Structure 1
Amino acid sequence: MITVFLRSLTQNWDGKLIAVIVSGYDGDGAAALCEIKEVGGITIAQKLDTAQQPDMPESAIASGCIDFILSPEDIAQEIVRIAHRDTSTG
């Protein structure tokens, strides 16, 4: 379901995309990460040792299309940094 949602965003959203894959079962979402990157988006996966269930972030990392591998706290900080950078550059 997450893969379908992310693919839909790449086809129907004109804004900046940031995909974050966190703790969860199966590898849902990983298949669409390269598509997010192809449209100029940024991809983030949760650090495996911080995930209660690492299947989803592990699959995301294995896709080879992850920009950042971060703890939940660092994910929040990175999103703020990206948003701040994008608003300051216009």
Structure 2
Amino acid sequence: PWDEAPYEDSVERTEQGELELSAFISQWALMTLLDPAQSLAYLIYLGYTGDAATAFRVTRKRSLDVKKKHTDRRVFQCFVFGPKNAGKSALLSSFVG
């Protein structure tokens, strides 16, 4: 399901076009953020036998995170704007590792 937008270029691949474990986990987290129902369906298809209600961890409201200046979130959605050659891709690449 990850060969098309918005997933196709969301993580780095090996020279053979494969995903390393960290990239797979990142891509799975992105899919869960964007389409939790589809993510749960794939999880069950892959053999998850636990309670569907406990398959995902729901975090508190972002406003509380801001107020407490702390978050337990693992996935963030952000938009990067800037002129050509400003270093947008370099900034994002620095987070990938």
What TM-score do the two structures reach when normalised by structure 2? 0.23
Of the two structures, which has the highest relative contact order with CA contacts closer than 8 Å and spacing of 6 or more? 1
Kindly name which structure, 1 or 2, has the bigger radius of gyration based on alpha carbons: 2
**Higher helix fraction: Structure 1 or Structure 2?**
1
